[in-house]
Structure 1
């Protein structure tokens, strides 16, 4: 029998995170954590100095939960990997996370795959890639090829799970080609 962690149990985990000095990876995937549980987990992230990887994939934190996580990212100085796969954060949640990623200097991997992020959210994420030279973002959505062509630090582009087709692939190739040509002129 599976016992899934809900918002109430997330509070207990959060209490432990406040004083923990050894845990570096926390996997909370495939549970029943909603926005309130995300708030509980986010609170100690503001001051926790050991956790480097947080996997909250396959929960239901939504845009509100993404806001709580984003607020913690603004002050957290140790988290390098954040996985929010399949949480229904949508465009609004993507904006919250993108805004926090502008100032966070430690996050290097952010996975937002399967969150119903549309064109608006994709634009927020693309904008972050222009200013944040560290974070690698993976998500299921549409990329702004104009944003891609202006990047000077892109080293990895993950288009897993997208249905871009021949035309979309050509647009990406053209954007990356312009990016390479611009770098050669510098």
Structure 2
């Protein structure tokens, strides 16, 4: 199934969107599609969400992204990609200049993968949306991403909901938002943020003029932090 579609993609020159979400593509199918992505010149959107793809498939797709010049959206959410796959995709982002949306929600990426993606953000100048919700990123990864955002000037949406970021990571992100001029949406829902993190973000909001959406739902912010934000 997936392999046959991959072979077709190598010669097809009209298809722009391929949605294979919630199938059983797995690594073998992912590798086949990665080879197709290397030669296909029309596909702009590829959805592989919920397909049991692990690092092997993720790494193959990353290699495909290094040479592909047309794909703008890649959805790898709800798979089994860990730090190795995250690092491979980060390396691809350093050279790819067409991808605008990368969705890695609900994988198993922790701080190592987060740090690699943060380094990629320092040099990538096309990605506008990075979705890392429901992974295993803690303060170390959050701080690294904050450093990446200090120099990145294209990312407009960053989703870090449902990770393990506490006040320490959020305070560094808050400092970054004082200088970042492009991020418009930041999702930090369901992390481990308390009043001090909320207060740090409140100080940032007095200065930042680009952020339009900030999601802090499901954290541990009390009335004190709420007053600061209000």
TM-score higher than 0.5:
yes
**Residue 138 (structure 1) aligns with:** 159
**Residue 108 (structure 1) aligns with:** 128
**Residue 183 (structure 1) aligns with:** none
What is the distance in 2 between the residues matched to 1:154 and 1:81?
Answer: 14
2:188 aligned to which of 153, 159, 171: 159
**Residue 203 (structure 2) aligns with:** 174
User: Normalising by structure 1, what TM-score?
Assistant: 0.88
| More off after superposition, 36-45 vs 147-156 | 147-156
**Helix, strand or coil: the match of 1:57?**
coil
User: Which is greater in Rg?
Assistant: 2
Aligned residues, how many? 179
**Residue 64 (structure 2) aligns with:** 44
- What whole-Å deviation, never above 9, does each CA across 1:86-125 have from its counterpart, x for those lacking one? 1111000001111111111111110111111000000011
Structure 1 gaps, min length 5: 181-186
What is the distance in 2 between the residues matched to 1:61 and 1:139?
Answer: 16
User: Normalising by structure 2, what TM-score?
Assistant: 0.72
1:158, distance to aligned residue in structure 2 (A): 2.7
| More off after superposition, 42-51 vs 132-141 | 132-141
Structure 2 gaps, min length 5: 1-21, 210-230
Question: Is the alpha carbon distance of 1:105 and 1:30 closer, same or farther for their aligned partners in structure 2, counting shifts above 3 Å?
Answer: same
Question: Is the alpha carbon distance of 1:151 and 1:49 closer, same or farther for their aligned partners in structure 2, counting shifts above 3 Å?
Answer: closer
1:165, distance to aligned residue in structure 2 (A): 4.6
Question: Is the alpha carbon distance of 1:103 and 1:58 closer, same or farther for their aligned partners in structure 2, counting shifts above 3 Å?
Answer: same
